[in-house]
Structure 1
Amino acid sequence: MSRRDRDRPQAAASPVTVTVCRGCCCGTEEKHPGVDHAGQYERLRAAVGTAGRVRAVKCLDACTHSNVVVVGPSGAGRAAGGRPVWLGWVLADDMVDEIAAWVHAGGPGLADPPGLLDLQEISVSRRIREGLPD
């Protein structure tokens, strides 16, 4: 066990984290007219409820795939081998529902993504992945 692991005894209790990009491209009417970005974010927060944590960040630097959402594993999911999953083009309400269902099922490492979310998965550079705030 590393010192870092000893210093973080609550790691197994950490929830699934859903990070929603709402910066320069994602979440803008200019790039995605007709999408209720604020409503979508609030629907996601309500649907996830206490099963996880939803947060918005300014920019995840993956603008060609906007709207970008990252689903990070819980402590238990990470222990089971789960890693953050980057999703692109999250624009429809059914995607919000599927993300929330995945969080309720345990998220990365504990449950496979439901529906068509696996088709939304994107790859980003290590530089971008490492820039995601904790």
Structure 2
Amino acid sequence: MSAGASRGGSVPCRVVVCRDCRCGSRKVTGVDHAEQTARLARDAPVRITGCLDVCDQANVIVVQPSAEGRAAGGRPVWLGLVNDSAATEDVAAWVRAGGPGLAALPDILDLYVFTPRRRTRTPRGV
């Protein structure tokens, strides 16, 4: 199944890949960042983003549900420390199966799931 196709012809889930700061740079060695992104793009649309402000979790991938997945209760899933090809393949397989809301998160990916901290804002005038 290509990135443009999905179950029932609907738009597939989307993958956001952080490629700024520590993610996707020489700071995380031993990872072919371009290949990781290309691998994910074979199964879903991939958007490259700047820093997501969770550098301690590099490499960060966020899997966003499709419209069908969101209607079924799926929410974005943040995955951190995705630093080897086996982990990338596990993400790609879940995306192919439908991702958030449509396919159960594989047990192996539980090791990578994290909840991003909320950015704290300094009140104006302080």
- 2:79: which partner in 1? 87
User: Does residue 1:71 correspond to 2:68, yes or no?
Assistant: no
**Structure 2: stretches of 5+ with no match in the other structure:** 1-9, 121-126
Q: Which amino acid aligns with 1:23?
A: D
Task: Work out whether residues 98 and 115 of structure 1, in 8 Å CA contact, stay in contact via their aligned partners in 2.
Answer: no
1:127 is displaced (CA, Å) by: 4.3
* 1:42-89 deviation per Cα after TM superposition (whole angstroms, max 9, x unaligned): 12212x1xxx21121111111110100000101011001000000000
Q: Which amino acid aligns with 1:118?
A: D
Task: Work out whether residues 80 and 113 of structure 2, in 8 Å CA contact, stay in contact via their aligned partners in 1.
Answer: yes
3-state SS in 2 of match to 1:104: helix
2:103 aligned to 98, 108, 111, which one?
A: 111
- 2:12: which partner in 1? 15
2:34 aligned to 18, 23, 38, which one?
A: 38
Q: Which amino acid aligns with 2:89?
A: D
Q: Which amino acid aligns with 1:70?
A: V
* 1:7-46 deviation per Cα after TM superposition (whole angstroms, max 9, x unaligned): xxxxxx44201000000110111x2122111122112212
* 1:102-130 deviation per Cα after TM superposition (whole angstroms, max 9, x unaligned): 111110011112251111001113449xx
Q: Which has the higher helix share?
A: 1
- 1:3: which partner in 2? none
3-state SS in 2 of match to 1:116: helix
- 2:124: which partner in 1? none
- TM-score w.r.t. the length of structure 1 is 0.76
1:103 and 1:127 map into 2 onto residues whose CA distance is 28
Q: Which runs of 4+ in 1 moved over 4 A?
A: none
User: Identity over the aligned pairs, expressed in percent?
Assistant: 53
What is the number of residues matched between the two proteins?
Answer: 111
